[in-house]
Structure 1
Amino acid sequence: MTYTALNKQVQSPLTEQDKRIIATIIQRHADEIKTLWIDCGITVWVQLQDGGRLAFDRNWFAQRVAEEKTSLEAQENLHRQNQRLEAELKQACTEYGLQHGEIDYLMFSTKVYRGRDLVGFVGFHRFSQMWTYSRRATEPDRYARSASDALAKLGVRQLTMV
């Protein structure tokens, strides 16, 4: 059996996420990654699209993959939480006839308006898992259990549906 035939049997296709993880570890672009394999249980070989190969210690590579997966999962969880928070804020703003400005997703905070008038600032405190609100940027944050509660505590009356 030739090396090429053996190599094709051992290799498995990589997902796009696999390629992103490997690319981050070896500081390349994901589209440069072709495949990888482990040689003799101690060396990880990364095959590049241009035919080049890079060798890494298996234990070092495995540790880096675990770290990168943890980082990606944290980012994805944060993204999902931001989507959920944005949906909650959007629904509450609709109930109160308000609009919100551009959201700072890193801190999840935004300005809230009625027409062109600034009503206040609303955000989400990740550590306390509570909504924050204040009328002015210089005012300390106060806390509420939901986006709707935060808007109500800003003194905004809920729209009544007829």
Structure 2
Amino acid sequence: MYRTLFIGICVAVLPAVTVDRIAITVGRDVITELQLDEELRITAFVNRQPIVRNLQARRAAGARLIEQLLVKREMELSHYPSPTGDEIEQYESQIKAGFGSAERFAQAIRDYGLSENIIKDHLALQLMTLRFIEFRFKPDVAGPALADMDAQTDEALNAWLAQTRKQVTIVYLDKLLQ
């Protein structure tokens, strides 16, 4: 009894600490402030640009994360297969090669406040998403030029995203992100 009382008193006097805040809800899924910041850092890393955390960049990151959630949900519903470990390693090797050496790649990861696991998870999702979009939205007919097919794929994807956004409740808890 005294032990329970002691634990209750200790918990009551501890200061409350906010670990993360929810920025956006997409149906039952959430996008947190930390996820927004990570998306900004990953985007800057991939594009080899400075990290920009202004309102415009945060809105764009929020929009990308919403789209990623919607596509990820569709991939899960359709049981789309994840890339294999070898495929992810090969894709990661292509990204690493762009940095010239493993040391430069590792330094860039540190400079952007990322980790190899974060990069690997992001690349796996990116690879899976690119394949899914091509599978789901690319026209089946052969003949049109590659640029035309890419434009048709983008158009079909954008139409699907617009329709899917209407079917899910998206709430911006951080009103500045709207």
- The alignment's TM-score, normalised by the length of structure 1, stands at 0.27
> Which structure ranks higher in relative contact order (CA pairs < 8 Å, sequence separation ≥ 6)?
2
| Structure showing the higher strand proportion among its residues | 1
Of structures 1 and 2, the larger Rg is shown by 1
| Structure showing the higher helix proportion among its residues | 2
